[in-house]
Structure 1
């Protein structure tokens, strides 16, 4: 076990990936997961085992699993190990494990230490640790989250207000960024929870009116604040003006929660008619689906079914119909796609079609179509094996996966063997972590030699 191999596992989900480790635990193979962590240095197995053991109250065994990983000095392992130590009552050891070595490269290295101090009941010390390092949103938000409900709101405001005021001044001077640009939202959040919502609303209302904000999140937070405080008129003005893109969904939710569904629908349809904004269309789809109007929701999404970006609602419409018990209508909807769209999106269309055929119990038809796909196409073998397994033809599925060169083929084979009650064989079939890492690096070098701009996030 070494840091390079651990970092590689975390970066590319190498070794036994997290979903596979979770599957082993879910199916009752905790001892094998512990063994894989101990003998193979499988990071995701170690993490899954620790989580399961701690949930069962077996913190001593959890510590024995994570201790070798923490001994490498790798930060993610140290963080998990500190949590185990804390649950064992070894607070001093937990704090020592996450306390960064000085001098630190970045102030955020103090975050885990501050959080552990807070868990240990030493909140004022934790605040003092964070106070010199609040030049980024992550540390600012940690301060706010860490102190919620702890009667430290005035102290937090003392630290956040200068950042927020600095951001307001910077924006007024025409600057594009400032370390406190998201402190506007956080300041308002703390004011609200401190019972000073009127002050929070006043600040943000001025910020919005005078364009003293840097990110759209500020508009979103302001809309949520107005909704929580019942300021419906102000929210209506925000949501139907220049900030509709961000605020309209909050306004619709307020109307819907108040039983004013028809009004919410009317507002959305009017703005969709005027702007054809895909985000507003999504909000209307959600509203209609929430009230069981699935056919109406599908029709609202229909104009987007040929889009080439994230505004496409086709998959969403298919899911709604399947969840409503109408997979045959979902398949008919998919079959309406133009030949041009199918040509541009062959994998997603094919995957949806085969899934729907299987859902309808038409396994042989789905298997025949999957088998006709050229083997070299992306994860064709994984798709075919999944259909064969669902159809009860496990031996054929195994034969496909054993000979597959698909990017996700090895993971699919491992999980197939686990589901078939052969977890020991599944783990034994995997090369060691170091061997996998070396093979990945070799493939990466080859890929980069052929194309220096190639994506280096290759499969494992």
Structure 2
């Protein structure tokens, strides 16, 4: 175990990844996870095991799991140990372990992490004071709002936010959009609301919106959501049918639904589509209808967007919302569905998975073989279809015969679900094997700012 391997695991989800660790823990294999952490140097196993042990109140065991990782001096492991100590009530030890030195206090990111620890330990004022020297970084203001939530420091936060919110208002009044604290008005309203001063938040932010004294649409959305949370549907409707309809009409429609007025919400959105056939309106309404179990109505609304380009295409969002393979097959075989623009292979993949989920695995495999997916071994696709159809033994045999690093990663999950967890861990490639199998990117020429001179830029 060394820091380089641990860094690689964390940045590439290497070793036994979180999804595998989660699956092992869900199947009550905590002892095997602990063993893998110790014997294989598996970082995500150590993390998962420590969290599970802490939930069970076994803080001593959690600390022992972390010991070899902490011994490397790796910062993530030190922080993980600090969190365990904090949960165990050993606050001072936790603080001493990760307290930044003078050099560390120059790092806004490092101070933010330590401030969170201080706030969790009840040292809220210390946390705030630690971050104040970094307020020239606009994101630190958001961090302060986060760590002080529910901790009785709202008035102090409002004092800190006020000059930045006023600066953002002035910037827009001067025709500028480059103010670093563009979100300060939204933060001000958020703190006012949580302090029990929602009326004041609505009044101040509403005045900014009416006078167009805000920089970006996030502030507008925040105001619309504030109105919705406090039942100001008339004011929200006035906002939603004006010049900012593209930004906030969905907030208004959802507020109507939340108040038991689903038919009215649907009518509002259909009227908007009739007047201005914007993709966002069709996207919201089709997804909402699908959520209500109205698949045919959802298809009818989304149909004009089935042939649109890239992010505007409305087929993929509908597929992603469907859990039942029968519904997926119905959608992709619907006569109104056209080939996904420049991505026809998506339809073949969706149809294959749906067929497999319905037990028609031979048809699914034939379809996948006739339209192979790029960059994925067809035998892994085949094994996945067998797995989806519930034929775990056949899927495992296919992956075992292939034997590549990727195949062994997939095989590990199948074996866990077969009730063979020890074998699943043993067959999973080690970090060394994964790193060796990953192709080394060829060096590319860069400009003086470090940006690539060749695509992708």
Give the TM-score of the pair, scaled to structure 1.
0.88
Q: Is 1:300 aligned to 2:301, yes or no?
A: yes
Contact 1:63–1:84 at 8 Å: present in 2 too? yes
Residue of structure 2 in register with 1:106 after alignment: 107
Q: Is 1:221 aligned to 2:222, yes or no?
A: yes
Q: CA deviation at 1:437?
A: 2.7
**Residue correspondence of structure 1 range 55-454 to structure 2 within 5 A:** 55-104=55-104, 105-318=106-319, 323=324, 326=327, 329-333=330-334, 337-338=337-338, 341=339, 344-373=342-371, 378-391=376-389, 393-404=391-402, 408-440=406-438, 443-446=439-442, 453=454
Q: Distance in 2 between matches of 1:375 and 1:240?
A: 44
Q: CA deviation at 1:130?
A: 2.2
Q: CA deviation at 1:85?
A: 0.7
Contact 1:330–1:356 at 8 Å: present in 2 too? no
Q: CA deviation at 1:309?
A: 1.5
> Which runs of 5 or more structure 1 residues have no equivalent in the other structure?
none
Q: CA deviation at 1:390?
A: 4.4
Q: CA deviation at 1:298?
A: 2.0
Q: CA deviation at 1:187?
A: 0.7
Q: Distance in 2 between matches of 1:320 and 1:236?
A: 28
Q: CA deviation at 1:322?
A: 5.4
Q: Is 350-359 or 430-439 further displaced after alignment?
A: 430-439
Give 3-state SS (helix, strand or coil) of 1:414's partner. Answer: helix
Question: 1:40-80, CA deviations, whole angstroms, 9 ceiling, x for partnerless residues?
Answer: 22111111111211122211111111233233333332222
Q: CA deviation at 1:323?
A: 4.2
> Which runs of 5 or more structure 2 residues have no equivalent in the other structure?
446-451
Contact 2:40–2:430 at 8 Å: present in 1 too? yes
Q: 1:273 to 1:406 in 2, by over 3 A?
A: farther
Q: Distance in 1 between matches of 2:196 and 2:149?
A: 13
Q: 1:252 to 1:394 in 2, by over 3 A?
A: closer
Give the TM-score of the pair, scaled to structure 2.
0.88
Q: Distance in 2 between matches of 1:118 and 1:58?
A: 23
Q: CA deviation at 1:117?
A: 1.6
Give 3-state SS (helix, strand or coil) of 1:253's partner. Answer: helix
Q: CA deviation at 1:86?
A: 1.0
Q: Distance in 2 between matches of 1:343 and 1:176?
A: 35
Q: 1:31 to 1:224 in 2, by over 3 A?
A: same
Q: CA deviation at 1:220?
A: 0.8
Q: Distance in 2 between matches of 1:212 and 1:156?
A: 22
Question: 1:375-432, CA deviations, whole angstroms, 9 ceiling, x for partnerless residues?
Answer: 9752432221022234454454234323548884342122223223333333333443
Q: 1:274 to 1:97 in 2, by over 3 A?
A: farther
Give 3-state SS (helix, strand or coil) of 2:296's partner. Answer: helix
Q: 1:273 to 1:453 in 2, by over 3 A?
A: same
Q: CA deviation at 1:445?
A: 3.9
Aligned length: 450
Question: 1:316-372, CA deviations, whole angstroms, 9 ceiling, x for partnerless residues?
Answer: 444666549645523522x7544xx36832442222111111232212221333344
Q: Distance in 2 between matches of 1:276 and 1:49?
A: 51
Give 3-state SS (helix, strand or coil) of 2:100's partner. Answer: coil
Q: 1:296 to 1:439 in 2, by over 3 A?
A: closer
Residue of structure 1 in register with 2:47 after alignment: 47
Q: 1:78 to 1:277 in 2, by over 3 A?
A: farther
Contact 1:98–1:112 at 8 Å: present in 2 too? no
Give 3-state SS (helix, strand or coil) of 2:72's partner. Answer: coil
Q: Is 1:30 aligned to 2:30, yes or no?
A: yes
Q: CA deviation at 1:266?
A: 2.0
